[in-house]
A and B are shown apart, each in its own frame.
Chain A
Amino acid sequence: MGLLSDPNRRRALIGMLTRLNAPICMICYMAGVAWFMGLAFEPFTLRTYMSENAMGSTMVEERFPAGERALATGREFAAHKKKTGGMPVDWLVRTMQARGLEVYTQRFSRKLPFPDEDKERYMVKGTNVYGILRAPRAPRTEALVLSAPCSPGNENNQAVGILLGLAQYFRSQIYWAKDIIFLVNEHDLIGMQAWLEGYHHTNTTGMDWSPLQGRGGSIQAALSLELSSDVVTSLDLVLEGLNGQLPNLDLANLFYAFCQKIGVLCTTQGKLPRNDWDTTSGYSHAVQTMMLMVLKQASSRPWGDHGLFLRYHIEAASIKGVNSFRPYKTDATTVGRLLEGMYRKLNNLLERLHQSYFFYLMPSLTRFVSIGYYMPAFGLLALILLLRALDLWVQLSSPPTRTTEDACPPLCPLSAPQPASPGVLSILTPLVISHLTGVALYTLPVLSQELAVEHFPVSETEAVVLTAIAIYTAGLALPHNTHRLLAGEGTEQGWKVLKLVAVLYLAVLLGCTALINFSLVFPERGLLVGVNDPGLTLLFAVFFFQELQETPVTLQEGWMLYLSVISQGILDHALYGSLLYPLAALLVYPCWLLFWNILFWK
């Protein structure tokens, strides 16, 4: 505690920190960015390994034989789907019952706040069908879920086929210690949301669903299967869930272990693991994979049907079959064996997956970076803010004390300068106004869509997005003008105090965001520069994401994509409770407005 009590050393340290503030900040910034980019460099990362004992040492043998029959079931499902023009509920119930499952259905309906133009839906009505395979060997207190979506068009028929085939095969085995729930959900995430809310008796988003008639035990893990072709070249593992939550790393390890064992090509973010880390292309490949993961996580939306399970503390991932032009193909039997193996290992679990990491980034499927390695990168960036704050604090507090020491002789004590603090009002006004603008940005777009549609030639979705952009832009002018109106000219100290408040605000905001969703910090980091605003950051992120996915877009397409990203963000919040939109509107945007205000203080 010597540093806290010894004034000389304190003064020396603070003096050094303020004198060298700019260079230290620069060094921290560069070190932070370098550290972050270094995370993708293979020698700095750890190899994935299975931490969970119950899944590691036990050997299982996969014997699923009926791939062809599963595909035939899938084709039958497709035919019935086409006939009913939606979910073939009766057929599914019959088929599942024939396979010896306890079958239940759940109806749900949801009216979206405004039409979703990407997926072309507004009033959503659907039915989930699920069958429970009761565990013969244990008291049915735990369950596993395998789900496949019933998507419109010709997609995911094979996934449903394999699901039903596995159900039939699993039924004849005697070693199950956990209930296995086979779920076919309609309207992808909306159906999943309805089912999960029904299963857990919660209702967070005001959706209508009929209560579930049958339940298994508490769900330990879930996999969601998406497969649209009879043969696949590789399987892609999707981990990013709602609000950037990730399942326990052991689930990814399990997937990887079985892919290795069975000999299936496996990818994450659609990128194969490569061994040439020491070449530039190998490194940039790893960086791309990691940046894709960061961007997907930062988007806070579920990237597969598994995404909503994570909210209920259930480890879940999506497995997507990819059929590309590679010559080597994997058939449905092999995919079935892979899933069988994974479920048998999950069946052996004695407790929830908790041994391995929950916070990680993956530069490839075989490598990971844990929280302990990536947090310093954030810490270095947060340090800049704290140093800036310290500098401002010293600037603010030192002038009055210096004048008392130098200028004021002991004989004129009554004229001692009071610390000229700018009134609370001059700080409070911009704070309150920016937050009110944020609240407007949060509430108005959805509320005012009818009004906008009435007066302008736009559709509802466009109305919402354009209102949001309009409020956003209008907000740029608002705080400054209103502030001037209320408090008059800003003083020199005024902006310093405001900047101090804004810097601390940003630091706390970044700290909290880093813990909830680490990846969001890096887009937000743009705020550090002060000129880079959240809207532009989002635009940039959209282009960058397309670039990384190797599907570059033109400016026009990019703009359309940008608009749809905004509307999807608002929808995600309304439908699934994603936190990105409220976070951006209520906290990040006001915080950035404060910086904007400082920029135009005079």
Chain B
Amino acid sequence: MAAPLALLLIVAVTIRAALFRTSLANLISERVEVVSPLNAWKRVVEGLALLDLDISPYSGDVFHETPMVIYLFHFLMDYAEITFMGAGVKFSSLHLVSQFRKQKFALEADRIPMDCLELIRSPTEMYYIPLKVAMFYLLNPFTIVSCVAKCTCGLNNAVIALFILSTMRGSALLSAIFLALATYQSIYPLTLCVPALLYLLQRLYIPVNVRRSSFWFYTLQYLFMFLGSLLVLICLSFFLLGSWDFLPAVYGFILSVPDLTPNIGLFWYFFAEMFDHFRLFFLCVFQINVFFYTLPLSIKLKEHPVFLIFMQIALIAIFKSYPTVGDLSLYMAFLPVWNHLYRFLRNIFLVSCVLLACSALFPVLWHLWIYAGSANSNFYYAITLLFSVAQILLVSDYFYAFLRREHHLTNGLYLKKKDGSEATLVLK
């Protein structure tokens, strides 16, 4: 296992290092699909310059990263290494995710009907999953371009990966700290609080029951750790900067979406077109999308918090206000973990074709709109919409496949109708 991992790491680092040296790096770091106003390296450099001049980095509406990040880069200008490390850390963490799933399946194995055994993954398959996850992340073109653009979302991804790792390890404190860090970076990971809690409860065999005091005790304990570390982080930022400037500049910027630079998300076009007096209402409608699905999903998937984490990460990547392809690559890295769902997927061909075509069409339509002047923003937004629809289809397809597999695990794989003919499952 170690040898292929090392090889993979070397290949991944080589590709990135080679791309850093070419002129493509500049081109990529200007692409709106790869960097957003939130995490563009250019803006971080600007913030650093302002900081060096003893001016608040948030003056001037250019820099929107959190204070911790700027101080991190202040001391470590060796940026490329950092991003590599982010990728590496992530990889090692996901390595462990599946280990725990393995144990879980071992537990399940004795209480399911015989014919479903083929649905259970064999240990050899499980063995390679961490490697596949690492490969999906490190060799994903989206990750590579995002890394070459020195997009700081690589750091966010690393933090989220660390959070997942520590959760899987069952360490509540670390999990809460990393979750707080991820939330501090970009608010949206807040929704990951629920699956983490569910997972930790499950690990300790505490049933999710509102009448049990042990449930409440543990929940409050976790929330206290989470909110406490979040508070510490925010206060620390305040003491580092000496002002509260960063709150509106970072969180206000994320939530109220003042920068309408086109990106692969759904916000920019709508808010560029909208009348000002509807803005607040639609802002709420759009932002609520990220948080809205947490409750129903956690009720439906309360037995499967790991899958819930995947769903949440995907939803965040789709519905956040400034998405980049780096966010996409985070949840796409999880796809090999669910490769046992592959046989139940229905639209994977359609979805992968659409995603492929859209990724090629983004730069083309951007060229036609901005440089050639012959197309306009509608063309670009059409592709953005299509891209989002494909992602939503992908996520819902996985969700459906997961539920279907659960159904088969309890009812047997080959369903028969009462008259003995083969039955089909219809989702209505």
Bound-state Cα–Cα, A516 to B364, Å: 7
List the A side residues contacting B115 at CB < 8 Å: 410, 413
- The answer to the question of A7 belonging to the interface, with a C-beta cut-off of 8 Å to chain B, is yes
CB within 8 Å of B: which of A382-410? 386, 389-390, 393, 401, 404-405, 410
Q: Assess whether A245 is in contact with B372, with CB atoms less than 8 Å apart.
A: yes
Q: Assess whether A516 is in contact with B367, with CB atoms less than 8 Å apart.
A: yes
Q: Assess whether A5 is in contact with B428, with CB atoms less than 8 Å apart.
A: yes
- The answer to the question of B424 belonging to the interface, with a C-beta cut-off of 8 Å to chain A, is yes
Q: Assess whether B346 is in contact with A504, with CB atoms less than 8 Å apart.
A: no
- The answer to the question of A359 belonging to the interface, with a C-beta cut-off of 8 Å to chain B, is yes
List the A side residues contacting B400 at CB < 8 Å: 5
List the A side residues contacting B372 at CB < 8 Å: 245, 310-311, 313, 358, 516
Q: Assess whether A8 is in contact with B347, with CB atoms less than 8 Å apart.
A: no
Chain A residue with minimal CB distance to B135?
A424
Q: Assess whether A508 is in contact with B427, with CB atoms less than 8 Å apart.
A: no
CB within 8 Å of B: which of A194-246? 245-246
- Nearest Cβ in chain A — how far from B286, in angstroms? 22
Chain A residue with minimal CB distance to B376?
A354
Stretch at the interface among B27-35, B44-52, B98-106, B353-361: B353-361
Chain B residue with minimal CB distance to A500?
B349
Q: Assuming A511-B357, A515-B361, is B426 touching A7 (CB within 8 A)? A: yes
- Nearest Cβ in chain A — how far from B7, in angstroms? 14
- Nearest Cβ in chain B — how far from A505, in angstroms? 9
Bound-state Cα–Cα, A516 to B349, Å: 26
List the B side residues contacting A8 at CB < 8 Å: 424, 426
Q: Assess whether B356 is in contact with A504, with CB atoms less than 8 Å apart.
A: yes
Chain B residue with minimal CB distance to A393?
B349
List the B side residues contacting A509 at CB < 8 Å: 360
Q: Assess whether B114 is in contact with A512, with CB atoms less than 8 Å apart.
A: no
- The answer to the question of B79 belonging to the interface, with a C-beta cut-off of 8 Å to chain A, is no
- The answer to the question of B343 belonging to the interface, with a C-beta cut-off of 8 Å to chain A, is yes
- The answer to the question of A6 belonging to the interface, with a C-beta cut-off of 8 Å to chain B, is yes
- The answer to the question of B421 belonging to the interface, with a C-beta cut-off of 8 Å to chain A, is no
Q: Assess whether A413 is in contact with B367, with CB atoms less than 8 Å apart.
A: no
- Nearest Cβ in chain B — how far from A317, in angstroms? 15
- The answer to the question of A560 belonging to the interface, with a C-beta cut-off of 8 Å to chain B, is no
Chain A residue with minimal CB distance to B116?
A413
Q: Assess whether A411 is in contact with B114, with CB atoms less than 8 Å apart.
A: yes
CB within 8 Å of A: which of B403-428? 413-414, 424-428
Bound-state Cα–Cα, A401 to B413, Å: 13
Of the four ranges (under 10, 10 to 19, 20 to 34, 35 or more), the interface on chain A belongs to 20 to 34
What are the interface flags for A405-425 relative to B under an 8 Å C-beta threshold, 1 for contact and 0 otherwise?
Answer: 100001101101000000000
CB within 8 Å of B: which of A342-377? 358-359
Q: Assess whether A10 is in contact with B346, with CB atoms less than 8 Å apart.
A: yes
Q: Assess whether A390 is in contact with B349, with CB atoms less than 8 Å apart.
A: yes
What are the interface flags for A161-191 relative to B under an 8 Å C-beta threshold, 1 for contact and 0 otherwise?
Answer: 0000000000000000000000000000000
Chain B residue with minimal CB distance to A354?
B373
Residue of B114, B115, B373, B427 most packed against chain A (CB within 10 A): B373
Contact with A515, one of B365, B426, B427 (Cβ below 8 angstroms): B365
- Nearest Cβ in chain A — how far from B325, in angstroms? 17
- Nearest Cβ in chain A — how far from B279, in angstroms? 27
CB within 8 Å of B: which of A1-35? 4-8, 10
List the B side residues contacting A393 at CB < 8 Å: 349
Contact with A4, one of B343, B346, B413 (Cβ below 8 angstroms): B346
List the A side residues contacting B426 at CB < 8 Å: 5-8
CB within 8 Å of A: which of B337-363? 343, 346-347, 349, 353, 356-357, 360-361
Q: Assess whether B346 is in contact with A389, with CB atoms less than 8 Å apart.
A: no
List the A side residues contacting B116 at CB < 8 Å: 413
- The answer to the question of B117 belonging to the interface, with a C-beta cut-off of 8 Å to chain A, is yes
Q: Assess whether B118 is in contact with A413, with CB atoms less than 8 Å apart.
A: yes
Q: Assess whether A516 is in contact with B373, with CB atoms less than 8 Å apart.
A: no
Q: Assess whether A7 is in contact with B356, with CB atoms less than 8 Å apart.
A: no
List the B side residues contacting A6 at CB < 8 Å: 426-428
Q: Assess whether A4 is in contact with B347, with CB atoms less than 8 Å apart.
A: yes
- Nearest Cβ in chain B — how far from A274, in angstroms? 29
Q: Can you spell out 29 A-B residue pairs with CB atoms less than 8 angstroms apart?
A: A4-B347, A5-B346, A5-B400, A5-B428, A6-B427, A245-B372, A245-B374, A246-B374, A310-B372, A311-B371, A313-B371, A313-B372, A313-B373, A358-B373, A359-B374, A504-B353, A504-B356, A508-B360, A509-B360, A511-B357, A511-B360, A511-B361, A512-B360, A512-B361, A515-B364, A515-B375, A516-B364, A516-B368, A516-B372
The interface of chain B, by Cβ under 8 A from chain A, is 114-118, 343, 346-347, 349, 353, 356-357, 360-361, 364-365, 367-368, 371-375, 393, 400, 413-414, 424-428
Known A6-B428, A389-B353, A413-B116; 8 more pairs at CB < 8 Å? A4-B393, A5-B400, A245-B374, A310-B372, A358-B372, A404-B118, A410-B413, A410-B414
Nearest 7 interchain pairs by C-beta: A358-B374, A410-B115, A413-B117, A416-B118, A313-B373, A413-B118, A5-B427
